């Protein structure tokens, strides 16, 4: 494969597309599929055949606003239809070339206007299983340009210049990590993609792997060239079967096109990728645990240093990045580091994809520039809290993050700002809670999660989370005391300071942040034995009953 | 058990053969039975050159072929990959995805991720537990229905989510879950 051949493919795809008068794109991501997107697509194909119009019906990855699904976008009019079902197929096909179907058109301009799409630029525009459609949208151009015109150091330099930070949650500068692995000695090095999206309530990585698998593959190939690796692994959750099959198909097609394998683009660069399945352990999102899991062992973390950049998979220098980090690589190499650094805030560059869920009108995937205010994400893009309820908190970072209250919503989203608020960026889950959520119960939910997911290797995490869970359960059933609260706080700091890996070190975050912003709810549970949100099932205390009887 | 056949050798034998440079090539154990599914399992191991790090991959193949992992399967895989049985068992029990018990004829999986929890997934679990009379993670006595919870299936935007034999259903109510259980129960 050469650049000329790549351009030839892109050209032929464009010619192919020009044969059609209209394009109807059907979102077939998990959320839309669960509402009958497949039947809808079949009906559209049938309606197009009977109408005799020259229509290209394409399945695509996630278009974003999942709560309005199933979604259909008609090009070239760019009309977006929401809540479409198979019965609407005829009306949509008939409207082609005329005015859009009025009942189905959705007004999500505000939702889209604030967004900037880098990672999700192809989602909703290409068929994920067609490598040529990816190539037609500048796919693999970055890889071939880098292989023929740039040195590995040049690629590392470009990533460093972009200011990209790890999208898995920690926010470690990606360029620095690549530089370390590139400098590490040894002939054999590995590149690993962390697709073990364990954070419950986040699905950005699933969407990227399913909707645009080649973007991840290209990012990994660029990383391998930059650090001098010839073998890569993608570690995907077994709970994402579609992601696994899309990636498998993607790897097969890339090999066929000569974009993976030996002597890629007639250069000495060899690279291939294998898929490894996770098996449902949250702790495997931690890099050393993930590597143990790829080696076929129990996913328990080990102390660092040595960092995986020096001694990782099978003891060799290993580069580990998250799916979204790799998805950012090709556009950075293509457009330059400065282009990327122009987006975002001072110390957090670029964009971030968030999975907006919970008690919010527009649930789904959004991609926003760093530095945007939380309020804009929730009220403008998300459309606010529905059902006449009031906003209470937004939870970011999953079980490792915290709950941010209404009064902090004017803070701009960045790695550092969220840490200052007692939460973390995390992988990008953003769960909105309203006045029907009890914050003590939420804290208990997360601690229960960490307790069951603790691998059991170190005692602070194994025993500490269990004790914290017991205390929080007592608050929730009304038997907690103020001494328990004090004990809980001291346990939080012990678990935080003394745990071996990120899981334990961040496990107390949901408790600490709810204690910081919603302490009165804890006091209500402990002193007045009542749950303000009406979630916890607290039995009326005996003394009160006596008073009532008297 | 026939040790020779199992490919295991006494340590001193091995030392002698290493010294003499005649280390016998490893021969994987024979398939446990004629069941074609063992060939699929063996295929995964062969594809990975019977390397130890293929343990989890192979266990995935066993589970997808047989539905669960029984003693015989774990022993066979451990022996084929030359992994101590204790280590294989440790891996099987460490990961939630692997099951040591056969699943029911039908499986209802209720997602217990954060978004689903906020939207009341716990009520769905409680309703299903009450109807079936079993706690989550178990199968009814007649082997008809398994009640499972998942840690997030990634369909958070349509929470609460329930998987009906693997098929995703969004914005599910307790009524819908009970209706489905009823339909399966009378099948």
Residues A409 and A464 in one domain: no
Beta-carbon contacts of residue B172 (< 8 Å; ≥ 6 apart): B124, B160, B161, B162
In sequence order, the β-bridge partners of residue B109 are B148, B163
Contact between A201 and A398 under an 8 Å Cβ cutoff? The reply is yes
Residues of A in contact with B168 (CB under 8 A): 30, 33-34
Cβ contact B91–A202 (<8 Å): no
Distances (CA, A) of A97 to A71, A94, A102, A182: 19, 8, 14, 54
Residues of B in contact with A297 (CB under 8 A): 55, 87, 91
Minimal-distance CA residue of chain B relative to A299: B94
Cβ contact B152–A201 (<8 Å): yes
Among B44, B115, B122, B159, the strongest candidate for a mutation testing the A interface, having the largest count of A CBs within 10 A, is: B115
- Among residues B30, B164, B45, B184, the alpha carbon closest in space to that of B109 is found at B164
Residues A310 and A362 in one domain: no
Is the pLDDT at B17 greater than 90, yes or no?
Answer: no
Residue A539 maps to a domain: no
Residues A401 and A295 in one domain: no
Helix/strand/coil (H/E/C) assignment for every residue in A173-242: EHHHHHHHHHHCCCCCCEEEEEECCCCCCCCHHHHHHHHCHHHHHHHHHHHHHHHCCCEEEEEECCCCHH
Cβ contact B155–A357 (<8 Å): no
> What's A31's domain CATH number?
3.40.30.10
Please report the DSSP string for A254-290 in residue order: HHHTTSSBSSGGGSS--BEEEEEE--S-GGGGSHHHH
Quote the domain boundaries for residue A198.
Answer: 138-341
Q: Which sign does the torsion angle of CA B101, B102, B108, B112 carry?
A: positive
Residues A94 and A180 in one domain: no
Separation CA B124–CA B173 (nearest Å): 7
Minimal-distance CA residue of chain B relative to A239: B153
Cβ contact B114–A395 (<8 Å): yes
Residue A405 maps to a domain: yes
* Confidence class for position B14, pLDDT limits 50, 70, 90: low
Cβ contact B60–A277 (<8 Å): yes
Residue A150 maps to a domain: yes
Beta-carbon contacts of residue B142 (< 8 Å; ≥ 6 apart): none
* Confidence class for position B3, pLDDT limits 50, 70, 90: very low
pLDDT at residue number B7: 46
ipTM of the complex: 0.91
| pLDDT digits (tens), chain A, 550 positions | 888 999 999 999 999 999 999 999 999 999 999 999 999 999 999 999 999 899 999 999 999 999 998 999 998 888 999 999 999 999 999 999 888 898 899 888 889 999 999 999 998 999 999 999 999 999 999 999 999 999 999 999 999 999 999 998 889 999 999 999 999 999 999 999 999 998 888 999 999 999 999 999 999 999 999 999 999 999 999 999 999 999 999 999 999 999 999 999 899 999 999 999 999 999 999 999 999 999 999 999 999 999 999 999 999 999 999 999 999 999 999 999 999 999 999 999 999 999 999 999 999 999 999 999 999 999 999 999 999 999 999 999 999 999 999 999 999 999 999 999 999 998 899 999 999 999 999 999 999 999 999 999 999 999 999 999 999 999 999 999 999 999 999 999 999 999 999 999 999 999 999 999 999 999 999 999 999 999 998 875 555 444 445 4
Separation CA A233–CA A319 (nearest Å): 10
Residues A498 and A392 in one domain: no
In sequence order, the β-bridge partners of residue B147 are B108, B138
Residues A170 and A314 in one domain: yes
Q: Is the peptide bond before A305 cis (omega within 30 degrees of 0)?
A: yes
| A397 φψ region: left (φ > 0), alpha (ψ -120 to 50), beta (else) | left
Cβ contact A445–B114 (<8 Å): yes
Among A27, A29, A34, the strongest candidate for a mutation testing the B interface, having the largest count of B CBs within 10 A, is: A34
Alpha carbon A382 to its chain's center: 17
Residue in B87, B97, B154 nearest the CB of A30: B154
> What's A328's domain CATH number?
3.40.50.11540
Minimal-distance CA residue of chain A relative to B155: A31
Separation CA B62–CA B98 (nearest Å): 10
Domain limit, last residue, from A318, A341, A364: A341
Residues of A in contact with B161 (CB under 8 A): 34
Residues A396 and A502 in one domain: no
Domain limit, last residue, from A404, A434, A464: A434
Cβ contact B52–A296 (<8 Å): yes
Residue A538 maps to a domain: no
Separation CA A10–CA A44 (nearest Å): 26
* CB-defined contacts A:B, below 8 A: 142
Residues A73 and A105 in one domain: yes
pLDDT at residue number A110: 87
What is the total count of domains within chain A? Answer: 4
Residue in B52, B53, B156 nearest the CB of A201: B156
Residue A126 maps to a domain: no
Residues A450 and A311 in one domain: no
Domain limit, last residue, from A79, A96, A113: A113
Residue in A278, A314, A364 nearest the CB of B157: A364
Closest-CA distance, A296 to chain B, in angstroms, reads: 4
> What's A415's domain CATH number?
3.10.20.600
What does the domain layout of chain B look like in residue ranges?
Answer: 3-94, 106-185
Contact between B113 and A200 under an 8 Å Cβ cutoff? The reply is yes
Distances (CA, A) of A185 to A25, A227, A309, A402: 48, 11, 10, 39
Average pLDDT along chain B = 89
Phi, psi of B102, rounded to the nearest 5 degrees: -65, 140
Residue A532 maps to a domain: no
Residue A125 maps to a domain: no
Residues A89 and A155 in one domain: no
Helix/strand/coil (H/E/C) assignment for every residue in A406-431: HHHCCCECCHHHHHHCCCCCCCCEEE
CB atoms within 10 A of CB B4: 9
> What's A500's domain CATH number?
1.20.1440.230
The three-point CA angle A224-A331-A169 to 5° equals 70
Query: What does CATH list as the number for B106-185?
Result: 3.40.30.10
Closest-CA distance, A483 to chain B, in angstroms, reads: 29
**pLDDT tens profile A495-540:** 999 999 999 999 999 999 999 999 999 999 999 999 999 999 887 5
pTM recorded for the entire structure = 0.93
Residue A290 maps to a domain: yes
**pLDDT tens profile B138-165:** 999 999 999 999 989 999 999 999 999 9
Residues A421 and A444 in one domain: no
Residues A202 and A279 in one domain: yes
**pLDDT tens profile A343-391:** 999 999 999 999 999 999 999 999 999 999 999 999 999 999 999 999 9
């Amino acid at each position: 494969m050469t650049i000329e051949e790549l351009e030839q493919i892109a050209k032929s795809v464009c010619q192919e597309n020009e044969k059609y008068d209209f394009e109807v794109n059907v979102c077939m991501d998990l959320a839309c599929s669960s509402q009958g997107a497949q039947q809808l697509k079949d009906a559209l194909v049938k309606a197009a055949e009977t109408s005799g119009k020259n229509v290209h019906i394409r399945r695509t990855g996630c278009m974003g606003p999942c709560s309005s699904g199933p979604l259909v976008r008609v090009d070239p009019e760019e009309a977006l239809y929401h809540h479409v079902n198979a019965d609407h197929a005829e009306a949509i096909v008939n409207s082609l070339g005329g005015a859009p179907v009025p009942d189905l058109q959705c007004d999500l301009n505000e939702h889209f206007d604030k967004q900037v799409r880098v990672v999700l630029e192809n989602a909703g525009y290409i068929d994920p299983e067609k490598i040529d459609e990816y190539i037609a949208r500048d796919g693999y151009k970055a890889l071939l340009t880098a292989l023929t015109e740039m040195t590995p150091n040049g690629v590392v330099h470009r990533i460093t210049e972009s200011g990209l930070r790890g999208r898995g949650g920690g926010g470690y500068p990606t360029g620095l990590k690549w530089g370390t692995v590139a400098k590490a000695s040894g002939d054999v090095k590995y590149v690993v993609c962390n697709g073990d999206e364990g954070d419950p309530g986040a699905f950005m990585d699933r969407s990227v792997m399913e909707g645009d698998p080649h973007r991840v593959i290209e990012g990994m190939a660029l990383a391998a060239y930059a650090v001098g690796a010839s073998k890569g692994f993608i570690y995907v959750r077994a709970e994402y079967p579609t992601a696994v099959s899309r990636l498998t198909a993607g790897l097969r097609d890339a090999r066929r096109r000569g974009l993976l394998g030996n002597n890629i683009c007639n250069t000495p660069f060899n690279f291939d990728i294998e898929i490894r399945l996770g098996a449902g352990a949250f702790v495997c999102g931690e890099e050393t645990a993930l590597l143990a899991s790829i080696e076929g062992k129990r996913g328990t973390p080990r102390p660092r240093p040595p960092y995986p950049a020096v001694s990782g998979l099978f003891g060799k220098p290993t580069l580990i990045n998250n799916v979204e980090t790799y998805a950012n690589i090709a556009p950075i190499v293509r457009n330059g580091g400065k282009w990327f650094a122009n987006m975002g805030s001072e110390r957090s560059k670029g964009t971030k994809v968030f999975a907006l869920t919970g008690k919010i009108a527009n649930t789904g995937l959004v991609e926003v520039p760093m530095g945007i205010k939380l309020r804009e994400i929730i009220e403008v893009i998300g459309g606010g809290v529905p059902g006449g309820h009031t906003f209470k908190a937004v939870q970011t970072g999953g079980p490792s993050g915290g709950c941010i209250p209404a009064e902090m919503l004017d803070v701009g989203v960045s790695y550092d700002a969220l840490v200052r608020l007692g939460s973390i960026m995390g992988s990008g889950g953003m769960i909105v809670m309203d006045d029907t959520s009890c914050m003590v119960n939420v804290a208990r939910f997360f601690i229960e999660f960490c307790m069951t997911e603790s691998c059991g290797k170190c005692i602070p995490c194994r025993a500490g989370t269990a004790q914290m869970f017991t205390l929080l359960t007592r608050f929730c059933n009304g038997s907690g005391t103020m001494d328990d609260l004090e004990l809980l706080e001291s346990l939080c700091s012990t678990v935080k300071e003394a745990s071996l890996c990120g899981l334990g070190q961040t496990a107390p975050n949901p408790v600490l942040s709810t204690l910081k912003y919603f302490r009165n709810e804890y006091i209500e549970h402990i002193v007045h034995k009542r749950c303000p949100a009406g979630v916890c099932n607290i039995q009326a205390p005996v003394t009160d009953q006596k008073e009532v009887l008297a | 058990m026939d040790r020779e056949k199992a490919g295991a050798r006494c340590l001193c034998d091995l030392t002698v053969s290493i010294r003499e440079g005649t280390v016998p090539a490893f021969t994987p154990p024979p398939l446990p039975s004629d069941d074609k599914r063992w060939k699929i399992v063996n295929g995964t191991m062969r594809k990975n050159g019977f390397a130890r790090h293929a343990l989890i991959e192979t266990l995935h193949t066993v589970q997808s072929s047989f539905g669960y992992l029984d003693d015989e399967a774990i022993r066979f895989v451990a022996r084929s990959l030359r992994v101590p049985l204790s280590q294989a068992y440790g891996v099987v029990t460490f990961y939630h995805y692997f099951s040591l018990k056969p699943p029911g004829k039908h499986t209802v999986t209720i997602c217990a991720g954060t978004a689903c929890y906020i939207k009341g997934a716990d009520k769905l679990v409680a309703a299903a537990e009450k109807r079936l009379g079993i706690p989550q993670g178990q199968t009814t006595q007649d082997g008809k229905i398994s009640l499972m919870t998942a840690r997030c299936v990634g369909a958070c935007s349509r929470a609460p989510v329930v998987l009906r034999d693997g098929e995703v259903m969004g914005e599910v109510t307790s009524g819908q879950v009970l209706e489905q259980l009823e339909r399966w129960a009378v099948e």
